[in-house]
Amino acid sequence: MQEAFFSFISQFGYFAVAALILLENVFPPIPSEVILPLSGALVTQTDMQLPGVIAFATVGSVVGAFFLYGIGRLLSQERLEGFFDTKPMRMLGFHSGDVAKAIGWFDKRGQITVLICRCIPVVRSLISIPAGTAKMGIIRFTLYTLVGSLVWNAVLCTLGFYAGNAWETVSQQVEGFSDIVKIVIIVIAVAVIAWWIVKRIIPAMKKDRAE
């Protein structure tokens, strides 16, 4: 995969960087941890300039984020409430009111997470979906996404630029950080699932039997 990225960026320059980062935002398995340091390193081997690489990577990030934001807008509050009000979802402990509570929390306290999460591996792309579902203001969403993406892209591209031929070392270190984030997310997810089973699913099963 690295050779394909190398060839694509070497041939198409800035537009390749923007396209790859756009795809990375829509399909998170595509690793920005590889694309960005490599793009920075290629500045020393091509006609590209570091500010241009960072700028085009940020454009790709913002455009890609809007795709997921649009998906979130399609998952409207009304549709989610109808889905969570079905019997299978109620048996899993969900209630239609949970949707309004989650969106209310996001509106009051969660919007800043769009900015913060843009600098965190794994969740940096997916945060755009709840932002769309909560109908976060387009101007604020764009600003937070732009600033967060710019920081992430600038750091990784600059590290790759100064690392030069050793850019893979930078990539490996960032991927190591990503692995730590994934472990933390898994641990939190397991804890949340355990809490959910005890507090929501078991009571829902008992209520269904009583009825």
What distance in Å separates the CA atoms of residue 17 and residue 78, rounded to the nearest whole number?
A: 38
Predicted pLDDT at 92 = 66
pLDDT tens digits for 112-145? 888 888 877 777 788 888 888 888 889 999 999 9
- What pLDDT does 166 receive? 80
Q: Which residues, at least 6 apart from 12, have a Cβ–Cβ distance to it below 8 Å?
A: 19
pLDDT of residue 182: 72
pLDDT of residue 57: 95
Q: How far apart are the first and last CA of the chain?
A: 56
Residue 62 near residue 27, CB atoms below 8 Å: no
Residue pair 43/164 in contact by the 8 Å Cβ criterion: no
Q: What is the pLDDT of residue 29?
A: 66
Tokens at residue 97, please?
Answer: 């009111």
Question: What does the block give as tokens for 16?
Answer: 């390749």
Low-confidence ranges of the chain (pLDDT < 70): 1, 28-29, 84, 89, 91-96, 98, 204, 206-211
Q: What sign does the dihedral 8-150-108-178 (CA atoms) show?
A: positive
- Residue extents of the structural domains in the chain: 2-210
pLDDT tens sequence across 90-117: 766 666 676 777 777 777 777 788 888 8
Residue in the block written with tokens 């979130």: 72
